[in-house]
Structure 1
Amino acid sequence: MGQLASALVIVIVGVLGCACYFYGSNFLLDKLLPSKNKPYDVVARNLRIAGYIRPWLFLGPAFLALGFYLVYPVVESFRLSFFGRSGEVFVGLSNYAWLFNSDEFYQAFKNNMLWLIVVPTAATFFGLIIAVMTDRIWWGNIAKSLIFMPMAISFIGASVIWKFIYDFRSGDDPQIGLLNAVVVFFGGDPQPWITLPFWNNFFLMVILVWIQTGFAMVILSAALRGIPDETVEAAVLDGANGFQIFYKIMVPQIWGTIAVVWTTITILVLKVFDIVLAMTNGQWGTQVLANEMFDWMFRGGGDFGRGAVVAIVIMVLVVPIMVWNIRRANAEMEGR
């Protein structure tokens, strides 16, 4: 109850603070640039200047917050990448030299690339298939709601759920994990799924695919609704079967949306952290770049330089995809 009360107080104070800021700043602007009881030329000048300033009264706090929480960390990470463990001794390119000779980094980088290949492709594919199928049945909205539901769960919460699914008990202990219970029911031997070399990465990927399929389904379903009925009807009259209509008529018309969904999930995958941390903590060959950065930055005494270098790598991988995604989304909005 104490935490709930604190959260409620913070929300109230925050809302009132924002209201006081916007009211006070506009009141002060009107006082400094009055538009009443003044000559016409003065009024016109004041209104023009106030028109330039007023939008920034609203945008200014947002830009300050973005600068503090986004721009400053990037600049600081780049600076720290040239410094040693404590972030005080300049070491030049030593951290970058370590990066390209680190087996741990290459393992994390390889795992990230594996996630990039599997997760966006699988989530987009399943989302598209489900979007097409649920548009053809009367209970489609119910199915969509159930599939979208995992999006409401945090990555940590989803990881806890799937930990019970993958749970393994050695010896004669009863298997409480759903997957092992099914395996035992059919006469198989239970397996420690999240410790199996190589394959455990795929078991972790299933969690993110499970979460992101609902996102892909919703976006692609909206895109499918935008396909003109005339094109589908013409294909039917020409004798096209269901697969041909889907592959040659529907997919080409929503290809831009598919690309945006795919790249959006790709950006998320490049920053994946919670699932690996909660499920394996990077053990058994499951380490990824974000966890590698976290380990170097905050564990084992901390090494700000090496942690910052890994953070720079993640940023370099994310930024081009993000820029392309924004441009593609803008092109979609403009109908190109």
Structure 2
Amino acid sequence: MASQIVSAVGVMVVGVFACALYYWLSDKTLQVIFPTPRDDVQRASRNLNRRAVVRPWLFLGPALILLGIYLVYPVVATFILSFYGRSGTVFVGLDNYRWALSDAGFRQSIFNNFLWLLVVPAACTFLGLVIAVLTDRIWWGNIAKSLVFMPMAISFVGASVIWKFIYEYRGAGQTQIGLLNAIVQFFGGDPQVWIALPFWNNFFLMVILIWIQTGFAMVILSAALRGIPEETIEAAVIDGANGWQIFWKIMVPQIWATIAVVWTTITILVLKVFDIVLTMTNGQWDTMVLANLMFDWMFRGGGDSGRSAVIALVIMAAVTPIMIWNIRQANRETGGH
């Protein structure tokens, strides 16, 4: 443990030093290439302008190179790979895309992803907004917010293990250690294998992500609520508006842009959901989503790089428009800065 900490600290120190050295050397290089002689004002002015043009690109250079290597190149390579067969060496044209359109497992994954998109962003945003409003009105609100936000500190796998104990099922006649089955049994019901119930098991998995992401939505929306001018709420109270009307007609419209950003941010996360499904069901019992299907085709049963590439492109095509809109909305919120 100690050696790992020392190693991590060493990497951070070396990294910071290397970055500072790069920027210093870059600036010195610019001064050499574009000198500013005191006896030639026109040339000095021209070189200063050239420095101003080149310097941002020089400083951004390493980041752009890394983006090209780790983002642009994989996208292009994946697109090319989608036209090849299982081994990635035999060109098959559009066969992988035809397979995707006709495969029942792919259609099931699309349907499941659609369910996740309908339920999770809406539930997280709504619950986060309601909790943000309620906790601002009670003296122990900060404690409540901390408790709601706490699941954000847990990994998706860790959260799934916790909820696996909640959904745990033991055979007939055995003591049910799963919290949900214990409650059902206490009220005279029959214990169920919750994560194996077709269709409904998807919702039981969604609860895990809702539990994790509601804290994120609450924090962002709570900050937005604090930015609402008190004058507008006081004016609504004077005009006779009740709490329900103030919430829906005064508060929500003023933070609608923030609600949209939270919604789309969670939507992007939902489109890439993987860990929860893998940990809870491994995609069994009709719970497969696109990311897990891609993983299965790539790394199991001998692997099929062509089909997995097609699924990866479908996920990227679904995420990209939402991400672009989210960035534009965030820029609009900050005034383009």
Q: TM-score range by the shorter chain?
A: over 0.9
Give unpaired runs (5+ residues) of structure 2: none
C-alpha RMSD of the superposition: 1.9
1:292 deviates by 0.7
Structure 1 window deviating more from structure 2 (216-225 vs 18-27): it is 18-27
Q: Alpha-carbon deviation of 1:208? A: 0.6
Change over 3 Å in CA distance of 1:38–1:281 after alignment to 2: farther
Structure 2 residue 305 is matched with structure 1 residue 304: yes
Q: Is the counterpart of residue 295 in structure 1 residue 301 in structure 2?
A: no
CA offsets 1:62-100 (integer angstroms, 9 cap, x no match): 111222222111111111111111111111111110010
Which letter maps to 1:66? L
Identify the residue that residue 67 of structure 2 maps to in structure 1: 66
**In the alignment, which residue of structure 1 is the partner of 2:202?**
201
* Separation of aligned partners in 1, 2:62 and 2:206: 38
- Looking at structure 2, the residues matched to 231 and 75 of structure 1 have their Cα atoms a distance apart, in angstroms, of 51
| Secondary structure in structure 1 of the residue aligned to 2:62 | helix
The equivalent residue for 1:82 is 83
- Aligned counterparts of 2:12 and 2:143: Cα–Cα separation in 1: 34
235-244 or 284-293, which deviates more: 235-244
Residue of structure 2 in register with 1:168 after alignment: 169
User: Hey, what's the Cα distance between the residues in 1 that align with 2:183 and 2:72?
Assistant: 49
Counting only pairs closer than 5 Å after superposition, residues 1-336 of structure 1 correspond to structure 2 as 1=1, 2-35=3-36, 39-334=40-335
Structure 1 residue 172, shift from structure 2 partner: 4.2
How many angstroms apart in 2 are the aligned matches of 1:317 and 1:271? Answer: 10
Percent of aligned pairs with the same amino acid: 70
Task: State the distance in 2 between where 1:198 and 1:181 align.
Answer: 22
How far apart in 2 are the matches of 1:254 and 1:298?
Answer: 44
- 162-171 vs 268-277, greater mean Cα deviation: 162-171
One-letter amino acid of the structure 2 residue matched with residue 163 of structure 1: K
Relative to structure 1, the CA distance from residue 171 to residue 3 in structure 2 (aligned partners, 3 Å threshold; closer, same or farther) is farther
Distance 1:328 1:45 in 2: 38
Deviations along 1:263-317, whole A, 9 cap, x unmatched? 1111111111111111111111110001111111222111111001111111111
Distance (whole Å) between structure 2 residues aligned to residue 36 and residue 150 of structure 1: 60
Report the AA paired with residue 277 of structure 1: L
CA distance in 2, matches of 1:176, 1:14: 49
Q: Does the CA-based 8 Å contact 2:37-2:43 persist in structure 1? A: no
When structure 1 is superposed on structure 2, of 259-268 and 122-131 the one drifting more is 259-268
> Which amino acid is the alignment partner of residue 134 of structure 2?
M
Amino acid at match of 1:229: E
What SS does the aligned partner of 1:100 have? helix
Shift of 1:244: 1.2
TM-superposed deviation, 1:38: 6.0
- 2-side partners of 1:309 and 1:199: how far apart? 28
Distance 1:38 1:92, change over 3 A: farther
Report the AA paired with residue 334 of structure 1: G
* C-alpha separation in 2, matches of 1:158 and 1:5: 29
| TM score, norm. by length of structure 2 | 0.93
Q: Secondary structure at the match of 1:290?
A: helix
User: Per-residue displacement from partner, 1:232-258 (whole Å, max 9, x unpaired)?
Assistant: 112212222111111122112222221
> Mind listing any 5+ residue stretches in structure 1 that lack a counterpart?
none
**Residues 100 and 106, structure 2, Cα contact 8 Å, conserved in 1:** yes
Deviation at 1:118?
0.4
Alpha-carbon distance between aligned partners in 2 of 1:300 and 1:30, rounded to the nearest angstrom: 58
324-333 vs 289-298, which moves further: 324-333
TM-score w.r.t. length of structure 1: 0.94
Q: How far apart are the structure 1 equivalents of 2:37 and 2:190?
A: 85
Structure 2 CA distance for aligned equivalents of residues 10 and 185 of structure 1: 54
Q: Distance in 1 between matches of 2:266 and 2:10?
A: 35
Measured in 1, the distance between the counterparts of 2:39 and 2:105 equals 71
- Where 2:71 maps in the other structure, the secondary structure is helix
